[in-house]
Structure 1
Amino acid sequence: MADMPFFCMQKGIRMREPIVEPVKNPEPESSTTTVENKGRRDFLRHSAAGVSIFVASSPLARAMSFDDEFEVEHKTVRLRRLPEKLKGTKIAMISDIHSGPYMSHQEMLPFMKRIRELKPDVVLIPGDFVDRDIAQADPVCEALRTIEAPYGVYGCTGNHDYYADADYVSNELQNAGVRMLRNEHAVLDIKGEQLALIGVDDIGSEQPFDPAFRQAVQGLKRSIPNILLCHKPYYLDDASEWGVDFMVSGHTHGGQFVLARVLGTVITPAALFSGYIEGLYRRDRSQLYVTRGIGTVGIPVRLNCPPEITLITLV
């Protein structure tokens, strides 16, 4: 049977396996975490005096991450259609940088340094480069200029990039060496095999998922294994129906304020808005990884939820 373009596949009319509900935070086949010290921030510069006093005197202080550490999550993800030559491909991912008052250029540099040390084949950044102002594009662009990967650095827009100006931010990132996938795809040639990266603009800021995805895969062959960059993780069901192999997202910050973890379930107010908070999820033949990101929104505090760089090894 001749290979068909991706966009010829219509939701609801192709053969599908029985739906399996996503499991909250299942561990990948291989998973390790390393803790990194990224240097002290000036906490008083970032926080109101009242918050500072509360945290300093609270037994929660040790669980709250302001500045000291981030984690490198080492994950192994098995893709069902991955050619043998692509096994072992390493993908570094960060998200939700939120360049702005709580994430300066200087504070980004330890993350960039660690990414360089990990020596990934490709780097993915699924959105929220800035907090909400176009002036915040320059610091993150300067930081991202310091990283490179043999097969490139790729990103998609997030809702905060739209709060600023998604076109302006994307153009600046392109000039800094980040290939922005805005309802489009790129096909990587790695060791003579192909891997497709698909990126959609932030869903909800611009358009619904289906038209964005349909535009993004125009002309892409179905036979090529694919990874989707989509800022919000809510659209795993849609991605699964379109036949996406692996989707990467941010947006949730892992909850940012995590009250507890019970039997793999993250207890956080963010769960009121999304069933996908952090880690790996499955739906039919599709998988999703949600990173906790490295920035914050609201106040520069994380509870039981340290910033994350993810290193994914495809097998």
Structure 2
Amino acid sequence: MINRKKKVCIISALIAIFSIYLVWGTNSISISRYNIENSSIPESFKGFRIVQVSDLHNKEFGKDQRILMKKIEKEKPDIIVVTGDLVDRRKWGTKNAMSFIDRAMEIAPVYYVSGNHEVWSGKYSIVRNKLLEKGVYVLDDDTVEIKNKNSHIFISGIIDTGYEDRENYVDDILRKVSKDIDDNTFSILLSHRPEHIKDYSEVGFDLVFSGHAHGGQIRFPFIGGVYAPHQGFMPKYTSGMYQMKNTFMVVSRGLGNSVIPIRFMNRPEITVTELM
């Protein structure tokens, strides 16, 4: 009888510890840092810091996103880039997303591209108008300059279709948004989907920021993420920095969740990239 009680206590304790770990691992924000060296980075942009936020999915990190914003503010970013899925079609609303945007705009200029959930919600125009009203740079198949002193770099963004990409869509749009970018000017691309890295590298972007994969949702040591949308099981691009030809791509594990409400060995994250 005593042994049985001990077993029950041990099992109960293990379940409690595992549950606490899941809650912590799903809600505790981590920071991943990267350095990018490139001869086309102007001298005035050396030390330029970019914070990436991706796949918030309407999640709340403290009242008015205070926990999230405290971490971002501490990084002293020069710009903040948002790579899609600020909202979630299953948990529709803009309050948490706009709380983040309001405070982010107080820290640094914000550049944004849409994700599939903005499109799936059927209310992307609402999100887009709110962002524009707040002064966010909404990069819908567009390119703008970022100026610093007498130098500049380019930042582009492609709008997400929300569905499987039409034949040649990505390649055609990339060539359209990059037509004014010359080989000697450092270029950044924001695109929700990392699986198109081959297209990004062929067009010649120097640095790409993506999300969408949620880190594979469940991760294991030496294996990585288990599943990612549009990549399937054992996906290749889920977290970290990848290189193809002369293009570097930073993939964020994102902050929120959609279908699966928990993460395993896959803490939500923001990324911090410094130009060197």
TM-score bracket, normalised by the shorter chain, equals: 0.7 to 0.9
Q: Which has the higher helix share?
A: 2
Gapped runs of 5+ residues in structure 1? 1-53
For the residue of structure 2 that corresponds to 1:147, the secondary structure is helix
CA contact (8 A) 1:156 1:180 kept: yes
Task: Spell out the pairing of 1:203-222 with structure 2 (5 A cutoff).
Answer: 203=161, 205=163, 207=166, 208-222=169-183
Relative distance call for 1:267 and 1:234 in structure 2 (3 A) is: closer
Contact kept, 8 Å, 2:56 with 2:254, in 1: the verdict is: yes
- Does residue 82 of structure 1 match 2:20? no
1:7 aligns with none
SS in 1 for 2:117: helix
Q: CA deviation at 1:169?
A: 1.3
1:197 equivalent among 141, 155, 171: 155
1:122 CA drift (Å): 0.6
Q: CA separation of 1:236/1:65 partners in 2, compared to 1, >3 Å: closer, same or farther?
A: farther
Secondary structure of 1:299's aligned partner: coil
Q: Identity of counterpart residues, as a percentage?
A: 27
What is residue 94 of structure 1 aligned with on the other side? 53
- Say if 2:70 is the partner of 1:113: yes
Question: Which residue of the partner structure matches residue 293 of structure 1?
Answer: 254
Query: TM-score scaled to structure 2, two decimals?
Result: 0.84
More displaced, 61-70 or 155-164? 61-70
Maintained 8 Å contact 1:253/1:293: yes
Partner residue, 2:6:
none
Q: Would you say 1:313 and 2:274 are equivalent positions?
A: yes
Partner of 1:167: 125
CA contact (8 A) 1:90 1:312 kept: yes
- Equivalent pair of 1:112/1:144 in contact (CA under 8 Å): no
Counterpart CA distance in 2 for 1:214 and 1:115 is 32
Count of residues in Structure 1 that have an aligned counterpart in Structure 2: 258
Deviation at 1:241, TM superposition (A): 0.5
Q: Does 1:69 align with 2:4?
A: no
Cα shift readout 1:6-50 (whole Å, capped 9, x = no counterpart)? xxxxxxxxxxxxxxxxxxxxxxxxxxxxxxxxxxxxxxxxxxxxx
Tell me by how many angstroms 1:64 deviates. Answer: 2.0
Q: Does 1:144 align with 2:101?
A: yes
Q: Report the counterpart of residue 127 of structure 1 in structure 2.
A: 84
User: Alignment partner for residue 146 of structure 2, among 175, 188, 194?
Assistant: 188
- Structure 2: which amino acid aligns with 1:89? F
CA distance in 2, matches of 1:292, 1:198: 21
- C-alpha spacing 1:127/1:61, structure 2 compared with 1 (3 Å): same
Unaligned 5+ runs, structure 2? 1-11
In 1: Cα distance, 2:44 partner to 2:63 partner: 38
**Alpha carbons of 1:123 and 1:257: their partners in 2 closer, same or farther (altered >3 Å)?**
same
SS at match of 1:148: helix
Q: State the Cα deviation string for residues 165-207 of structure 1 (Å, max 9, x = none).
A: 2222112112223211000011111132111111001155475
Which residue matches 2:221?
Answer: 261
Aligned residue for 1:221, secondary structure, equals: coil
Counterpart amino acid of 2:263? R
Query: Residue 232 in 1 paired to residue 189 in 2?
Result: no
